[in-house]
Amino acid sequence: MTELRSFGGLLARDIAVLARNVDEFLLRTLVQPALFVFVFAYLFPRMGQSVGGGGGRDFASVIVPGLVASTAVFTGVSVVSLPLAIDLGATREIEDRIMAPLPVWAVGAEKILFGALQSLFAGALVLPMGMLVSATAVSVHVGSPLLLVAVAALACLTSGALGLVIGALVRPDKMGLVFAALVVPLTFLGCVYYPWERLDVVPWLQVGVLANPLVYMSEGLRAALTHGVPHMPVWTFLGAGVAFQIVMWTAALRLFERRVAA
């Protein structure tokens, strides 16, 4: 019971700090997806610019779930990795947290959970924003709320764990380089702007992108949110999502314990 109260206290403290800086969080989270939706789902159809061969009619229904997935994933990565790298740096502020009556791994798990909650919040904001900004109707149809909850949970928890891995491995002064090398490839090869099925024109790439966890989150949200947009079979993206979840959490907590003990 003491450990549970301590875990809740750490989480409540982080939420309180976030609430005081919510304007910065919103600015950091929403600017990029808002620009993508504005240009591709609003401006291009208004100009008559063809997008994906469909004049933009279907592209909004493809890109909005993809942007929700990418926003959720990279929000979790960013809000966990950089603060952790700083805490583990020269100031060693992480030592204040590990003094709580908790196992070291539980302190890392709290960081993952806090990152996941921010990811969920960011994704929940991007979805209605995309639907409002788009010049064409976004075909949103939640056929299975349970599937939506499962995909959202996998996306958010995986993003928090990936953030812990990066924060435990990378120094603060190298974080910008890592994000530049990580975010762009994962996004453009993460089926954010196109369904995975359409990559069949480049078979080697269709196979290669399966190593990208964002692919399964984008495809999963299309399956859960849109109607008539091609997507992977449910068992494929859920199975891969669970596998990435196990790998990421195991690696994240072990690396975190190792860095704290160093």
pLDDT tens digits, 46-104? 776 555 444 444 677 788 888 888 888 888 888 888 888 877 766 666 766 767 677 88
Half-sphere exposure of 6 (CA within 13 A, CB side): 15
The number of folded domains in the chain is: 1
Look at the block and give the residue holding tokens 């120094």: 171
Backbone angles phi, psi at 226, to 5 degrees: -115, 160
Look at the block and give the residue holding tokens 């929700």: 68
Look at the block and give the residue holding tokens 């994906």: 52
Per-residue model confidence (pLDDT) at position 90? 61
Per-residue model confidence (pLDDT) at position 133? 78
Per-residue model confidence (pLDDT) at position 91? 63
Per-residue model confidence (pLDDT) at position 53? 43
Q: What is the domain range of residue 52?
A: 2-261
**CA-to-CA distance for 177 and 54, rounded, in angstroms?**
36
DSSP secondary structure letters along 107-141: HHHHHHHHHHHHHHHHHHHHHHHHHHH-SS---B-
One-letter identity of residue 167: G
Residue 80 backbone zone (phi > 0: left; psi -120 to 50: alpha; other: beta): alpha
Per-residue model confidence (pLDDT) at position 206? 92
Per-residue model confidence (pLDDT) at position 165? 92
- In the predicted model, residues of the chain with pLDDT beneath 50 are 52-57
